[in-house]
Structure 1
Amino acid sequence: MNIIQVNIFLILLIAYQVNSSCLMASKELGDQCSLYCYQVVKPLLQYVNTTTTMTQEQNELQQTIKVQAETIKNLNELMKSKDMQLEQQSKLIKLSESHSQNQQNLINQHKIQSELWSKFNESLEIKSETQQKLIDECKMELSSMKLEIQWKDDKIKKLQTENVKTNELQSEQSSSCIGRLTGFHMITIPKAQPFIVSCESNLAEAGTGWTVIQRRKDGSVDFNRTWAEYKEGFGNLEGEFFLGLEKIHLLTQSQPHELYILLEDFENETRYARYSYFAIGGDRGSYMIEELGTFSGDAEDGLKFLTNCVFLTADRMKYVNDYTRFNASGWWFRRYSFISNLNGKYAFADVDKDAPGVSWRAWKSQPLKYAQMMIRPITK
């Protein structure tokens, strides 16, 4: 029971008691009592009426609030649903954009493939045309080669008829460098096994066909050697070397030879000495210089006192050790004469006058940078 119902009950109870009291009095008093009771109860009835109205309005308001709360709850749930829908739509949009991008990429790739295929077809056409041109060219070249082969066959037949003369000429030249280009060649001479020599044919003043028997250029080879080494030969044909006394002896004894000596100082000035005849004896005679022909050249005569001089090394003759030790090499030495020694200890710079070294003092007192001795058969 609420407050309004309690108030109504109390008003009715009071009215009932007043009305009962009035019924027990006289009629006149009863009318007065009823009037009085009405005046008393009227405000209360008005209050009850007002209270009832307010209660109804309150109930309606609460009902309205309840409905609004329910509406708000529904709206919140609807908003959550909409948010989820929006999120899903956003994901769908992103997926759609990604799909669109993939489609665009596929379109671009297809476009590129189409372009490549088109270029490939064009290249095939060009290649086909090029191949056809090459085939045509090959046919023409083949025809030309056939004609050239026929011409060469004719030439070979012609050369074969001259083969005997050519073999005879090669046989005559096999014992020297005559007719051979600059480089290394095998030669054959009597009383010796075939051996390789360095041929020189690039000297404008001297001519062609020279056999190099000695070379000095950079000090890479030690020329302070024993008698056996000078007899056999040593060094490198591409650089510094000494051909060997026995080979030089056999060469100069097999047929007449001339001698050409090329010299260069540290100022790059070149000179030469040439002898119209050159021959040395054998081992028993200590490879003596037996003959020197007429001298010519601009280096002065550095061998003019060495005719009939024997070849000496430090281990060969004790009484000439002073010469061989001073010059640190083997050479055709003459007592009290130091006019030349192309086998001397190499000096790596332009040193003082009369210092040991590759020497040709008939031209220059200081040691030389380069020396090369060459021989060639005398031709008529």
Structure 2
Amino acid sequence: MRSHCFAIFLSVLLLNRLSSTRAEFSSEDGFEKILHDNEKLRCTINTLTETINKLNTELDVLNIQIEMKRHVVIALNATVNNQKVLITNQTKTIENQNKRERSMFEAISRLQKVRDQNATINKLNASIQEMEKQLKNQSEIQIELKENNNKMNLQDLEINDLKKRLQEEEDKLQYCTQNSRLCNEPVKSLPITVPYQSHKNESNEYLKCKSGNGCPYGFGIYEVKIRGLSPFEVPLQNNWMIVQRRRDGSENFNRPWQDYKDGFGNVRGEFFLGLEKIYALTQNRRIELLIQLGKADGSTTSTVYDNFQIGSERDSYVLKSLGNQFDDLEISLKYNLNQKFTTLDRDNDEYIYNCASNENGGFWYKDCGYCSLNGKYFKEGYVTQQHKNGIHCRHWDNWDKISYTFVQIMIKPAGV
């Protein structure tokens, strides 16, 4: 396009030159001059044409170079854009790192504050401990006086118990003077026949010694033989057979069903005779039930029911009967009447949860919390753990957090 425009420019220039020399065509010399000028002009045009072609070639080369450079620029722009993306990503990474560093610094600051607070708390605890020591030192005399009073009360109880035992031993000695052979037997053997329903015509003897002269006042550890059960030992006290005893917390009463069925513990200490044995001993006869309770302050109480009976294992050893109640009416099992026995692994009570798990021991629960003589033992005489119940039977403890330190449950045939 540029070369075409340049040729037109040259044509116009040539016509102008010819117009300016039109007056000179009349002479021969002028014509020759015109020819000469035209020749020169042709040469000039050729030269210019060559120059134009050369310039066009150079222009084409330049265009190619420009196109190549444009591609290079595009590639550079792409590279720059990639670099910008990388820089943006790196910037975001750096910002995230800065955020994490700020979070770490904030966490470190919080930790430092917590450490400072802990140091303050430790100082306060040290001050509290020091104050507690001072209070403890100030109250040591009062505590010692209280302990001495408790010891004196316990000593009075022990003295009274010793007096009672002394009287019993004197009675036994008097009896043994007349029956010397019986006094040499450390463990009394009582072959007891307790008939089941299929043996109603057999002997109905119960806790009667067959040695000829009777048993000395019904005290000591006796061996009992019942048809269908292995022989077992049981303590007797004034003809009352002890079937449960709590006195020092040495035995765990939070046990499964099988343990309560078979019995556990030491008959010379804390123990539970066993539901199957109690069931066998209370069938087909009228049985009296005696419950004795004691508190840490030395106070005691007891009550008697005149017709105690439980069901078989098929009936979950249900508390079928208690009869009439005598002595201390503040101890009441009436609330537990007609309830099946519940243990930590067999829930037979009416409460939504397992009462044996809540009360830490098996018993004839209805909906927990009323009377539990197999609960957790607290030697202090009161419950020291939150959400726990001890050994209790409501009314006598006035619904306080009292936990009895002594329990003894005994049975004997009515009239014996």
Per the normalisation by structure 1, the TM-score is 0.50
Higher-Rg member (1/2): 1
Per the normalisation by structure 2, the TM-score is 0.46
